[in-house]
Structure 1
Amino acid sequence: MAEKNKRLHIRGVKQPSKRLEDDVIGRAKDLADNPGLLRPLCAGNCRKCVFDKVFKDIDKYAKYRGDEQALIKMASKGLDSMAKAYAGTISVAAAGKVPLMATAVIGGQRVPYVVRGTVPAPLLIGCQHYDDPKLRLLYYNGLIKKQGLHLYSWGDKSVCSDAPNMPEDYLYDTWWETPYKFDGDGIDCGHEATSR
């Protein structure tokens, strides 16, 4: 438990700026209109997709996309935390405003999110930042670990597999994100070699 707290620090709530509020509401509206934005592509050979049940619940919640109070209630009850995070997120679009935002510090980065219902903060953050390849992993982390699956996230895509099966685009994207330089002589990390 102490290890989790080192990676995710929750800060107090605050009134969001207009630009930040517009960003949050815009992403919530996108999810309300198209819940499929959250569903990873499949690159495996699973007999049954573990996301089917989650998205069955999400589709039910999407029908209430204009009813803020109903969505907040849905975000407070039920067993599926991923579906509850979705309901809480799209309740922001239904409200048309963000009353207060909390902030989490993840990897040294301050990440704002709207608290809704009884949803764990990492799921809300991952859902509300579905367009960020690293932050959206928080949304899937629990289910992926529980089911022993592999999830690859880059750009605007997420791909799930039942076996290590990295998509070529993921490898390419990851390759260019590294701070190392690769050339014919090997790998250069940017530090000068010291002789002993």
Structure 2
Amino acid sequence: MSGRVAIAFAVAAFAFEVASVSMYSAAAGFGLTVEPSKLLASGSGGASLIHWGSLIDMLGYLSLAPIVLYLRARYPASYVDLFAAAGLAVVVIGSIGAASMAAAAPPLINDYVSASAAQKQALLPAFATLYRAVVLGLWQTLEAFPLTVWLLGTAYAARREGPRAVFWILLVLGAVIGATATYRLTTGS
């Protein structure tokens, strides 16, 4: 695969992520924090935004796979297979989370619209569990560690041969994501 194709996949992954985050944000009312109860009460419009946002998010994750494989081939170094495996783990973990949200969240949101008060009380913990399992468990915790390994490892591999900008981008992203994940795990937030 050429560098241009890898760049095209990187642009696609970025565009998919921007689109999916925008859809999730719209469903949550554009707040800085997202409460599962607010998403659950977002109605059929919110359900549609979550459904399509999740599918687009899945495409974003899948678009990372060719980039992982390109960087593995482009910057061979010790442990490059480990770094690539970590990158592919990000693709799998993120895609599973996105597919889970696309399949499970919209029906719960749609059921909530017409539910009785007692049914709404039962739907809230189910939706909150789904949200926390996917968003906090898969995306913000489990995915963060292989993502850190992939980014920092690929930065290490690219440090001698690659453009300095690639090295610094990968290094800074890896350090920030790793620090954020460690903070979340140690503080419970």
Same fold (TM over 0.5): no
TM-score (structure 2 length as normaliser): 0.35
Greater share of helix: 2
TM-score (structure 1 length as normaliser): 0.34
